[in-house]
Amino acid sequence: MQITDKTAVSIHYTLTNNRGEELDSSIGAEPLVYLHGTGNIIPGLEAALTGKQIGDSFTVSIAPDQAYGELDANMVQIVSAAMFEGMDIDVGMQFHADVSYGSGVITITEINGDEVTIDGNHPLAGEELIFAVEVIDIRPASADELAHGHVHGAGCHH
């Protein structure tokens, strides 16, 4: 069976950036299970997986526009430290917030006196991502999974 739209796919992967730093991996843990063709993973990886079969292993480089997007300078703002009143804040802290595209994560990137620089870009925006992937399992998605837009059972985060 090949990976096509409406298939439930299990993969193991290791994600690195173009500097060779490991960013994430499923090795030694449960495989990533997703519903192919529904946008549950980044577009570039989904495209690279299309047509693959159980046992296939490959490495693919994903450009930012097919991953988490380019860095958007409009997503960086300087705000008053008063917005964080009563909180101990540090560079690198992340918060869930409503941003221009909906709910997202903002990261504190600089603290300069009463000014705090926050960045609403995805932490991997602007990064070329390299995935080493092994296809573990492929099966037809159930009607329930198709209706809900994600895989149920092992690996389900419903």
Does any domain span residue 143? yes
Does any domain span residue 155? no
- Here the tokens at position 141 are 């998605």
More reliable by pLDDT, 111 or 158:
111
pLDDT over threshold 70, residue 100? no
94 shares its domain with 115: yes
pLDDT digits (tens, 9 = 90+) for 2-41: 999 999 999 999 999 999 999 999 999 999 999 999 999 9
Domains held by the chain: number: 2
Judging by beta carbons within 10 Å of its beta carbon (0-12, 13-18, 19+), is residue 121 exposed, middle or buried? buried
pLDDT digits (tens, 9 = 90+) for 34-55: 999 999 999 999 999 999 999 9
Q: CATH code at 111?
A: 2.40.10.330
